[in-house]
Amino acid sequence: MDAVSASLDDLPLRSDLRGQMPYGAPQAPLPVALNVNENTHPVPEEVADDILDSVAHALREVNRYPDREFTALREGFADYLGHGLTADHIWAGNGSNEVLQHLLQAFGGPGRTAFGFAPTYSMYPLLTRGTGAEYVSGTRGVDYTLSAESAAEQIADAAPDVTFLCAPNNPTGTPLGVDVIEAVYDATDGIVIVDEAYQEFAPRDSRSALTLLPGRERLVVSRTMSKAFAFAGARVGYLAADPALIDALRLVRLPYHLSALTQAAATAALRHAPEMLAMVDEIVGQRDRISATLDALGYHPYESWTNFVLFSDVDDPAATWQALYEQGVLIRDIGLPRSLRVTAGTEAESTAFLDALASLGPGGAHGVTEERG
């Protein structure tokens, strides 16, 4: 085709989508990729074999539509989560992003608002606006923490239809107490979504929002297999909530939205939850080593209950990101002042990052100031 291709401006695009930017974490084939909080450990060999058998089995019936209710998978998630949950309390989708989209399709949409405490997961505004709802950002306190009083006050003022609480928070790693979740729930008549994408990396004795579900029919706890389960490429996310709320999601999902292959793979992986999660402790160890070393190098690492570390006191984040890139290490510049975010990888990957950063000297790399004549 040699005709000049059209631009977005030439298309009859929805006016509320004009000027928006798509999600765009760089996907570069670098030796050390620590930029999107994946679990960098591969699925263990024996588990991979069992998953493959299940997928092969499902493939023989792939001429038929899959179980629309993905019953076996919902039972698997209920067993995994515990807390007395049954399949009736569970929903799943192609990544927790799709699960969040279902929630917004049911409870957001035109004329409604969704709310998150900035900085938080960059997909909340994109998913919200995708349904035609408005996204409102609240604020956090010192070191990106959020107190029950401040959160409840902001929610009472904004009166959103949907509130996102990312616990622990991405991109900052910040823990969120259940007292904050309770206070927010009491301050709104809307849906409260607690996104526990990183819960498995939190201290073992920390309380999950799952413990708050009984008697709170507007509360949703979402999880993903992308991080702790090393299953990002399979695209499987899920949530737990009151069975009535699950019925609301049936109104907006596409029929048969979870393929038979996805259901088979995820159900098999869940049967091996302990082996799949075996690397979590190792990753938590690397996370804590990264934080300690960053501190020793003169940076400010924020407290993290996740598989990544946000750190500040970077003189020139763009120049440092670029200098690491040139050494084959990909991390994330999430646009926070003087800050960068790195995922905890294997021991070797984490060392490669720390060595590369140390080689840049105090404060990281500095941009070349252009000479002006």
Residues that bind ligand PLP (CB under 6 A): 37, 95-97, 121, 166, 170, 195, 197, 224, 226-227, 232, 237
Indicate the residue among 98 and 364 with the shorter CB distance to ligand PLP: 98
Q: Minimum CB separation from ligand PLP for residue 330, in Å?
A: 16
Closer to ligand PLP by Cβ: residue 178 or 232:
232
Give every CB contact of residue 176 below 8 A, 6+ residues apart in sequence: 146, 165, 166, 167, 168, 169, 194
For residues 91 and 121, which CB has a smaller minimum distance to ligand PLP in the complex? Answer: 121
Distance in Å, CB of 250 to ligand PLP, minimum: 20
Q: Which is nearer to ligand PLP, 96 or 293 (CB)?
A: 96
Q: How far is the CB of 363 from ligand PLP (least distance, A)?
A: 28
Kindly state the smallest distance separating residue 30's Cβ from ligand PLP, in Å: 19
Secondary structure (DSSP) of 103-127: HHHHH-STT-EEEEESS--THHHHH
Cross-strand pairs, 46: none
Taking the C-alpha atoms of residue 348 and residue 21, their distance in angstroms, rounded to an integer, is 35
List the beta strands (DSSP E) in the chain.
32-33, 90-93, 113-117, 134-138, 162-166, 191-195, 219-224, 237-241, 300-301, 308-312, 329-330, 340-343
Distance (Å, whole) CA 160 – CA 182? 16
Q: Which residue is closest to ligand PLP by CB?
A: 95
Q: b/e string for 84-109 if b means 16 or more Cβ within 10 A?
A: ebebebbbbbbbbbbbbbbbbbbbbb
Nearer to ligand PLP, 96 or 154 (CB): 96
CB atoms within 10 A of CB 218: 18
CB of 323 to ligand PLP, least distance (A): 26
CB within 8 Å of 1: residues ≥ 6 apart: none
The helix (H) or strand (E) run that includes residue 49 is helix 45-59
Choose between 96 and 188: whose C-beta lies nearer to ligand PLP: 96
Q: Which is nearer to ligand PLP, 174 or 226 (CB)?
A: 226
Minimum gap (Å) between residue 234 Cβ and ligand PLP: 9
What is the torsional sign of CA 28, 34, 38, 42? positive
How near is the Cβ of 197 to ligand PLP at its closest, in Å? 4
